[in-house]
Amino acid sequence: MISTGNDIVSLNAINITRTNNSKFYSKILSTPESKLYNEPLAATIPFENFVWLLWSIKESAFKYLQRITPDLLFTPVKFEVTQLQTPSEYKLINFGIGELTGTGFNDESAFKAVILFGSDTLYARSFIYNELICTVVHKSENFGETYWGIKYINDGQYDNQSKKVREFLIQNLQRLASFDNIIIDKNQHGIPVIILGTKEMLIPASLSHHEHFIAYSFQYKRS
């Protein structure tokens, strides 16, 4: 089954003091994962961003697998990040108030990670800006058919986030083909599904939002 999983964390919303408390981060990171925060990485991002980067990777992996196993529950420490690679040309910059979309990832700007969950191995690509961390997870290192988008929205109320992320996804799906009458719904397990007319499309999509940021990912094979 094809799937996709994404997550976005608004760094303005996190509690830095709390995140740096071991009582907090030990609910997210295992001891071996804490060791991934090595000297080169520490020179690149602060520890709180590392914690939320791993959260974002784990939540994206969970969302990827939840589409396949809907009863799956999310316990962050059960998703093991075994490798984390900082992009070669990483520079912390502002995301700003615009939007960014893409297909696949440029390895010079995205963090790369490998996640293990039971017998599953998944791969993540993440962006870190001053204001946000955004991750997409896939089952292989080939993200060539993975479409993603990140956008700033003015109104950060929950209901508006939810509405705007659906509009953002539809707008970018319609750039690929003439998909009229598309709606984004959720199935009985709360997983997003794309409905064209009355039929569910075989395009797995993942949505995320946090305060003023929204993001999507989907898998699509061009014919």
Which residue number, 27 or 174, has a Cβ lying nearer to other proteins? 27
How far apart, in whole angstroms, are the C-alpha atoms of residue 24 and residue 20? 7
Q: Which of 111, 108, 104, 45 is nearest to 84 (CA)?
A: 111
Least distance from C-beta 163 to other proteins, angstroms?
13
Does residue 13 contact residue 161 with C-beta atoms inside 8 Å? Answer: no
79 counts as binding other proteins under rule CB under 8 A = no
17 counts as binding other proteins under rule CB under 8 A = no
**Beta strand pairing status for 213-219 and 199-200?**
unpaired
117 counts as binding other proteins under rule CB under 8 A = no
Contacts of 127 (CB under 8 A, 6+ apart): 109, 110, 111, 133, 134, 135, 150
Which residue number, 52 or 216, has a Cβ lying nearer to other proteins? 52
Q: Among 33, 59, 192, 213, which residue sits at the site for other proteins (rule: CB under 8 A)?
A: 59
Which residue number, 173 or 191, has a Cβ lying nearer to other proteins? 191
Sheet strands (E) in 44-158: 80-85, 99-103, 111-117, 120-128, 132-138, 146-152
Distance of CA 77 to CAs 62, 131, 139, 219, Å?
Answer: 11, 25, 19, 27
Which residue number, 74 or 174, has a Cβ lying nearer to other proteins? 74
Q: Among 12, 16, 32, 77, which residue sits at the site for other proteins (rule: CB under 8 A)?
A: 77
69 counts as binding other proteins under rule CB under 8 A = no
210 counts as binding other proteins under rule CB under 8 A = yes
> How close are the terminal C-alpha atoms of the chain, in Å?
19
Which residue number, 74 or 85, has a Cβ lying nearer to other proteins? 74
Q: Among 27, 85, 174, 202, which residue sits at the site for other proteins (rule: CB under 8 A)?
A: 27
130 counts as binding other proteins under rule CB under 8 A = no
Element (H, E) at 23: helix 22-25
Which residue number, 122 or 132, has a Cβ lying nearer to other proteins? 132
Q: Can you give the binding site for other proteins, defined by CB under 8 A?
A: 9, 13-15, 18, 23-24, 26-28, 52, 55, 59, 73-78, 157-159, 190, 210
